[in-house]
Amino acid sequence: MTRQRTVSGMRPTGSLHLGHYFGVIKNWVEMQKEMDCFFFVADWHALTSDYAEPARIKGFVPELVKDWVASGLNPEECVIFQQSLVKEHSELNLLFGMITPLGWLERCPTYKEQRDQITNKDLGNYGFLGYPVLMATDILMYRPQWVPVGQDQLPHVEMTREIARRFNFLYQTDFFPEPQARLTPEAKLPGLDGRKMSKSYNNSIYLRESMEEITPKVRGMLTDQNRLRKTDPGDPKVCNLFPYHVLMTDEATQVEICQGCTTATLGCVDCKKILLTSMERFLAPIHERRRELDARPDMVRDIINHGTERARVEAQKTMEGVRKHFHFDF
């Protein structure tokens, strides 16, 4: 039986944090065992908003791959590649741009939201408006059945399905499948200050950080704001710390923490000490693999090059079919 296929990617805009791991990478690691997975470094996507700093994007490419592999992605079990090195993506993006109605892009909710919210960059460029077409290109190039996304990315997947339907309708074919969104479980991991964990909020714990860097962050974390003294009973349900325990501390210890918190027999300082122990145990194998990759930069480049070659083979097959439908198969 032919294995099903999935495609996903990340923009190289900085180091990955725990929110990325539990929200995305953990699911990728599980999926690579059950289906054919194509995971790409979306450097062209990064240019749609960070076009003024291409050198920074280039520097983040190998760092992103290191984070992925250190976190459990296996280059032998999945295809890890760099988007811009598979030139077929640019050709398909151009051709999809020819058949995508402008109104579809202007009505895209994420386009409107980001244009209004991101005020420190000029996003009045064609690339930013055409972001959904490029995303559809990256997905449909590998003709997958599934696309792992969070709730906020559903409009992009639906746009991808619409572009696939339009292509198939215009050229009377079933060449492109309509991939289904595979919703990833929401990672309920707040940032250090209680807001969403984000690089822009400066409230993140990064996968590459040492315990020496992480310890003061954890010690300063926001907890139950109603618990002013150790003798005040707390509520783990509203504590910013407890979601970390749910993800990294064993269940028996979680029960003890809940009992100690609600009965005021366990203080927040001790709770943070337990979390640091759990976090060190969780991050140790990631840090070890990361050190190996840092010591062997050629290995990272080999992973990207090998994965890119595998992706290019599939992309070339797709473009042969696309060119025939556009009558460019001279």
Q: What is the pLDDT of residue 186?
A: 67
Per-residue pLDDT of 149-176, as tens digits, reads 887 788 889 999 999 999 999 999 999 9
Per-residue pLDDT of 83-138, as tens digits, reads 999 999 999 999 999 999 999 998 887 766 666 666 667 777 888 889 999 999 99
**Average pLDDT for the chain:** 93
- Least confident piece of the model among 32-46, 123-137, 155-169, 277-291: 123-137
In 3-state terms, what secondary structure has residue 238?
helix
Tokens read off for 297: 């930069």
pTM of the predicted model as reported, rounded to 2 decimal places: 0.93
Tokens read off for 48: 């749609």
Task: List the one residue out of 221, 233, 329 whose CA is nearest residue 275.
Answer: 221
Q: What is the pLDDT of residue 150?
A: 81
Per-residue pLDDT of 171-219, as tens digits, reads 999 999 999 999 877 667 899 998 889 887 889 999 999 999 999 999 9
In 3-state terms, what secondary structure has residue 122?
coil
> How many residues appear in the chain?
330
Task: List the one residue out of 17, 27, 11 whose CA is nearest residue 73.
Answer: 27
Is the Cα dihedral 297, 302, 305, 308 positive or negative?
A: negative
First to last CA, the chain: 35
Stretch (H or E) spanning 38: strand 36-41
Per-residue pLDDT of 243-261, as tens digits, reads 999 999 999 999 999 999 9
Q: What is the pLDDT of residue 273?
A: 97
- The answer to whether residues 57 and 143 touch, using CB atoms and an 8 Å cutoff, is no
Distance CA 239, CA 226 (A): 9
Tokens read off for 302: 């080999």
